[in-house]
Structure 1
Amino acid sequence: MPPREVADEVERVLRLCSACMYCDGVCAVFPAIAGKATFSLCDVAHVANLCHACRGCWHACQYAPPHPFAVNVPQTLATARRHSYADFARPRWLAAAFGRRAWTVAAAVGAVTLAALLLVVLTVPHETLFGEHRGGGAFYRVVPWGVMTTAAGLSFLWAVTAMAASTMAFWRAIAPPASRRVVRRALWPAVVDIVTLRNLGGGGAGCNDVDGRFSRERRIAHHVMVTGFALTILSTVSAALWHHVADAPAPYPFLSLPVLAGTIGGVAMLIGIGGLVSVERRADTAATEPGETRLNLIFLGLLGLVAASGLAVLGLRETMLMGVTLTLHLGLVTGFFLVLPASKMMHAPFRAAALLRAAIDRVASPPRRSGGE
């Protein structure tokens, strides 16, 4: 759990917010704390992951610094949120990556990528590595299909297993006592909140992404990035079907589904990542937490490298640079999967679980509003 001083500060801030409730309606955090006078460590973990860092409460709060109460909800919950990733990390040794050792995540990806490049350089003949390969199976003349799928498959399986275990540990801690009927009724509202990023609407007018002006910049950039990622998944799945069902090994024509989806998806990911990084760099640091900002930038940087290297493979696939580019891409993908459970990617399943808990609470009992409404 978070250090005692972190937990104490979170409880102090949330008790003041629960008594005030001026920001009720800005996001899901305030209905979740309405009427509460005390907050357990599990409550803190739940509320911290409900917060989407829209910063609406920061600009609306009458008790924010320089007021003596010094209420800073975004920064306080960001600190608690980062600690929650470490608290519920499975295996537990992953917890160190969410603290001061966050840069080891990037270092691990770099090490895996360099190892892959070194292995290929030492084992693949020079004329093959730097040759111009065309036609079906061209990629596999540099890196055999079995090696490629084993490295990516095992690293992906590790990522899914570790992330699922961490998320289940988090859910067991925050899950409310509710009947199956209530949970079923809450599923659809929770899915809508998760997919639409409703809480990045800042109460409807938009978030205060950079300053006091309302903006939907971060929400749009996030949607663009996720859409691009979904297209790359479509590209991978369709390529697998072409390979195994149609017996047509890669590479494929530019106008084929795998290539079009991968190209559009990769470009969309880079646009979305660029938008998110821009917001992160320009945001008011008074309402952010350095540790979480570091996690955000490292994750976005690594994801951007994966997307950019994939596009480079498509662009250079019929040149002598294809072998090296393909190796770098495979190393980045494998390394990225290996560090995924120790990265800011954990915010996705944790936030989904927190939103499900909030939806269950809304179904189980009407939300308590300020003023007794």
Structure 2
Amino acid sequence: MKPVEGGVTAPKGFRAAGIHCGIRKNKTKKDLALIVSDCDANVAAVYTQNVVKGAPNRVTKEHMKAGNCRAILCNSGIANTCETDGVEKAEQMAAAAAQLLGVKTTDVAVASTGVIGQPLPVDVIAAGLPQLVGELSPQGGHDAAVAIMTTDTYPKEAAAEFTVGGKTARIGAIAKGSGMINPNMATMLSFITSDCAISSAMLDRALREVVGVTYNCLVIDGDTSTNDMVILLANGQAQNAEITGAGPDYEAFEAALLSVCRSIVKMLAADGEGATKYLECHIRGCRDTASGRVLAKSVMSSSLVKTAFFGADANWGRILCALGYSGVDFDPQKVNVSFHSAAGDILVCQNGGSVEFSEELAKRILSEKEITLTIEMHEGEAEAVAYGCDLTYDYVKINGDYRT
């Protein structure tokens, strides 16, 4: 397995495009993206568990019931959420794209991201679709990645090549998300493609396994979006024997998917709204992986922990506090906490209590752009990781006038 260029169009048989159609006032910002498989593709998807769901989520979930998909259409700028005619507009988006592509409306997934509670100008989208379809290209993945951005400062793309059943296959992905990220399955928009031949059932299994340890372990600000969606398409163009069950081929596919999604998640974490530091929280020696994830996400969700990292303050008491209210039972007197970065390593808490350490060294370590927080629980053999960023003044500035 190795990283490759091309993002979501790196696999065979996929084309994409991204344009400005007029949803955003700024004409230099692309706001409409399309990803198309040249042949029928199996599909798996996960959606937000927020009770308030965007209309595109509801429409796409219904369309994908058959396990097949040919295209993903996504707009940025307006979320199409909490609108009385939102479902109708999402269906209109899908139908308009399907007509131009010559596929069934139910073969089109739709997604939207942006401001909640504002009407979506579906007529503007329909008017832009001929140009969007006309610009579809195997090199268009980057434009699609740009078009789905909202407060992101750069597009998120990743791809990997691997061997399965003696054939060379690829997985590619794009994603957007800088804020309103605290997952309960996934937590932003991410579109993933593969030319591997794999059944819908095994595709669904792989996606859920990988989401559990990547997108579902990402925390920016504690808010779960109404429009979260991860869609995975596999069109079989690699011509390997179809993966229909567990075994070496399935393991190779899942490993490649994990590699790509982990790369995407790290980019999302590093580009959190207003973030200045990328953070990883490693829980070691926990009783089981599930409880480890809860502990790690509790720490990464703490505003006080995140602001301490912003200020390069080794305030480890906040970390123990966040562990304590996670809901996981453990012995606080067994916990060790240490920080690691390019500037060095330092132990700041041992057996649940204070130890002597250099505040000067701690400051240097926590002033780096990438920091790892390691927590030893001494309760078992399991491990878990959560991904996140610091919480800064700019986060408030960005979200204080996000709508206006």
Greater gyration radius: 1
Same fold? TM cut 0.5: no
* Structure that is richer in helix per residue: 1
* Structure that is richer in strand per residue: 2
Higher RCO, Cα 8 Å, sep 6+: 1
TM-score, scaled relative to structure 2: 0.26
TM-score, scaled relative to structure 1: 0.28
